[in-house]
Structure 1
Amino acid sequence: METHIYSSLALPCSVIAVGAFDGVHRGHQEVIKQAVKRGKFLNAPSLVYTFDPPPRVYFQGAYMLSSIQEKLPKLEVLGVDQVVIARFDHVYAQASAEEFIETLSKLNPLEIIVGEDFRFGRNRDGDIHLLQKYFTVRVIEPVCCSSGNRISSTRIRQLLSRGEVQSSHSLLGWPAGE
């Protein structure tokens, strides 16, 4: 797996999973697995485009479920070919939705795979509908736990804040300590 700090990386083609992927929980894993699967099918490298720190951590001071150093080995286990890490800071946060689309265009995505709640660009102005104007987009439905509740990083943080460590680990889908 090759890792790139956000730059002017250009690829001849790719299948991209985009997201913060904080915790690389079971819902994130489904998005990433689909990118890997589609990349193999389309004979294109799978690429995860992610952020460090995650936007929710940057804007709201949320507890970070996994550092980039913890996230990368998980992405490798999932079979990702390439990772682009965008440093999420004041400058990056000011980028427009159109600038984000231009960045993705340099990676020549055959498909982009995202979760249904994916937003991007300054003030979260960009959404799936805007992305679909420029790219072929696959939207992955939410993954739910056995009780039927949606798995999300926010929910995992809530469980951890209540001391429900075992429940949070079952949603993450990784053995404790990974």
Structure 2
Amino acid sequence: MQTIYDEAIQLPASVLTIGALDGVHKGHQALIKTAKRRAIELGVPLVVYTFDPPPRVYFKNAMLLSSLTEKLLKLQSLGVDFCMIAPFNEHYMTKDVSSFIEEITELNPVEIWEGPDFHFGKNREGNIAALQKFFTVNIMESLRCPSGEIISSSRIRGLLNENKRVQAEQLLGWDHVASF
């Protein structure tokens, strides 16, 4: 996997997914595996565009579920070809929707894969409908655990705060989970 930190790259074509991916939990894994399958079918690289730190950690001082190093190792194990890392800071959060779209246009995404609640850009003004004006966007429904609840980083943080580590680890879905 090639890791690109805070710089733009150009690709002739790609399959792209964008997100904080904190913890790279089972829901993230399902999304990335689906995007990877499509990238293989289309003969293009899979690009993951992510943030360091994750926005929720930056804004709300939320618990970090995986360090950048852990996240990169997990993404590599899922077959990601390129990982673009944007430093999430005061400067980055001023990036408007059109600037973000210009940046990802350089990746020439044949398809973009996202979860149903994806937002981007300054004040989270961008959404899936905005992306669909420029790109083919596929929406993967949120993965649910056996009890029917959506698997999310927020839910995992809540379980960890309640000292329900085993349940949190089940939702993360990795054999080894960092100490929290």
TM-score by length of structure 2 reads 0.97
Alignment of 1:24-103 (within 5 A): 24-103=24-103
Amino acid at match of 1:158: G
Cα distance in 2 between the residues matched to 1:10 and 1:53: 24
Structure 1 gap segments, 5+ residues each: none
Cα distance in 1 between the residues matched to 2:90 and 2:43: 36
- For the 8 Å contact 1:35–1:47, the answer to whether it is kept is no
Note the C-alpha offset of 1:70: 0.6
Cα distance in 2 between the residues matched to 1:77 and 1:12: 24
- For the 8 Å contact 1:45–1:81, the answer to whether it is kept is yes
Cα distance in 2 between the residues matched to 1:102 and 1:65: 30
Alignment of 1:11-22 (within 5 A): 11-22=11-22
Match of 1:166 in 2: 166
- For the 8 Å contact 1:115–1:141, the answer to whether it is kept is yes
Cα distance in 2 between the residues matched to 1:168 and 1:176: 12
The runs of at least 4 aligned residues of structure 1 exceeding 6 Å deviation read none
Match of 1:142 in 2: 142
Cα distance in 1 between the residues matched to 2:44 and 2:89: 30
Amino acid at match of 2:125: D
Cα distance in 2 between the residues matched to 1:99 and 1:2: 23
TM-score by length of structure 1 reads 0.98
Note the C-alpha offset of 1:67: 1.2
- Over residues 5-40 of structure 1, what are the superposed CA-to-partner deviations in whole Å (9 max), with x where a residue is unaligned? 121211111100111000000011111111111100
Note the C-alpha offset of 1:138: 0.6
Structure 2 gap segments, 5+ residues each: none
- Over residues 76-128 of structure 1, what are the superposed CA-to-partner deviations in whole Å (9 max), with x where a residue is unaligned? 11111111001101000010011111110011100111111100000000000
- For the 8 Å contact 1:49–1:86, the answer to whether it is kept is yes
SS of 1:166's equivalent in the other structure is helix
Aligned residues: 178
SS of 2:80's equivalent in the other structure is coil
- Over residues 124-161 of structure 1, what are the superposed CA-to-partner deviations in whole Å (9 max), with x where a residue is unaligned? 00000000001000111000001010000000000000
Cα distance in 1 between the residues matched to 2:151 and 2:61: 20
